[in-house]
Amino acid sequence: MTTVAIIQARMSSSRLPGKVLKPLLGLPSIVFMAQRVRQARCVDRLIVATSVDASDDPLAEVLAAHGIECFRGPLADVLARFHQAASHAGADVVLRLTGDCPLIDPELIDRVAALVIEGSAAYATNAVPASFPDGLDVEAMRIEALAAAAAEATLPSDREHVTPFIRREVQRFPARSVSAFADLSSMRWTVDHPDDLAHVEALLAAVGATSPTGFDRFDLYRAIERHGVQRGQDHQRNEGYLKSLRDDAAA
């Protein structure tokens, strides 16, 4: 059974253009994140799925320079891009990660993936319901669930955000979730706005990080407690998806 981690990323973010190439500890953010993902034991192959649009050429060049596999597909139809990347890689289990989560935790990736790899779910996540800090989101799914979504989903929000169709079809695709030891969902560790990037830099300084792989989420929790660098959700969680739902309603 082949487990493929796919990080979706693009340069044309409306809130922080080029965010996936912003530097963290001297590395482009997407490279920083990829190094953390590679620490997950379950990951057999890692791919960054970006678009064929010319705006994403710089991203593809950076990935090639750092030896990270890149797959390029449609810009707007992210679901098609994601399914094409997974099929290209011969995936049985697909991990969906987003490029705005540089602090993603390898142990969490393994915990979520295990629910699908071991056969107890066709889809699993630690993001619904939300209990972990925003920026640690992991989704895992069987390739059959992803293929069904790619073939059947028609809502623009489903095409842009990949997994809502699968989550709604819970009778076809049994789902399970992983929860944190407490409700930590008010913490914001994602990078979607300029102030998010500054906060992640502050977290890395607080934990004393010198490389992408020398710390885990518990180190971050302890550093927050010691140094008081925690920041709440002053931006709406899942802002992009909520906008897509409004666009669906207005269409």
CB 100 within 8 A of CB 188: no
Contact 213, 160 (CB under 8 A): no
pLDDT tens digits for range 51-68 = 999 999 999 999 999 999
Q: How far apart are CA 2 and CA 110, in angstroms?
A: 14
- pTM value is 0.92
Report the distance separating Cα 159 and Cα 23, nearest Å: 30
Share of the chain above pLDDT 70, in %: 91
Q: How confident is the model at residue 241 (pLDDT cuts 50, 70, 90)?
A: very low
Compute the distance between CA of residue 90 and CA of residue 3 in angstroms, rounded to an integer: 9
Tens digits of per-residue pLDDT, 192-234?
Answer: 999 999 999 999 999 999 999 999 999 999 999 998 876 655 6
Residue by residue, what is the 3-state secondary structure of 84-103? HHHHHCCCCEEEEEECCCCC
Burial class (CB in 10 A: 0-12, 13-18, 19+), 29: buried
